[in-house]
Amino acid sequence: MINLDEVAEISLGIVLNRKKAYEEEGAFKKYKLFSIKGYEEKSYDDFYSIEDLDNKCAQKGDLLFRLTCPNRIIFLNEEIPKDLIIPSQFCIIKSKDENKYITSFFKIFLETEEAKIQIKSNINGTTIKSITVADLKKIKIPEIQITEQIKLSEIISLWEEQKKHLEKLIQDKQYFFNKYIEKEVNKNYQ
């Protein structure tokens, strides 16, 4: 087992209030602001900055970890805006060397029960529970060969694709079931 920060770069998102331009005219540049809802809907709010944040933008292949509870892990494996900035409630995790550890493996591991126990033991706070970036860096991860990481990543990706199809199938069946019931109920009122 090794510390996560030995194989991954972990950086905190941007403290928005320190970078926010309060008037659109005084802004240095316009960015897109990451949020979980925005990610799910593929629609991001605009954020006007007082300085250049281009080197702080997220990229496809980054892993986002929400530091506040409930923790959420999002792997940016789809196309995202090139000017997407990440707020400080999240940290960005990237592999230092993709030939030794792939970033998608970090997501797989951080969602395991072992990782959840480690994360839970480092949660602080009474009102707003969270884990610090320093504590996240100390999470122990297994040393697994790159070929095994790739195989695990492919299996998980296939499973997630199957889950999407099954959820769509359930939605479609529910729709037809509801229409059938509605038709039968209305038939007796005519």
Tens digit of pLDDT for each residue in 136-165? 999 999 999 999 999 999 999 899 899 999
Q: What is the pLDDT of residues 9-40, one digit of tens each?
A: 999 999 988 888 877 666 788 899 999 998 88
User: Do 1 and 78 meet the contact criterion of CB atoms below 8 Å apart?
Assistant: no
- The CATH code for residues 2-144 is 3.90.220.20
Q: Map out the domains of the chain as residue ranges.
A: 2-144, 145-190
Residue (of 29, 25, 70, 67) closest to 48 by Cα position: 29
Its pTM surpasses 0.75: yes
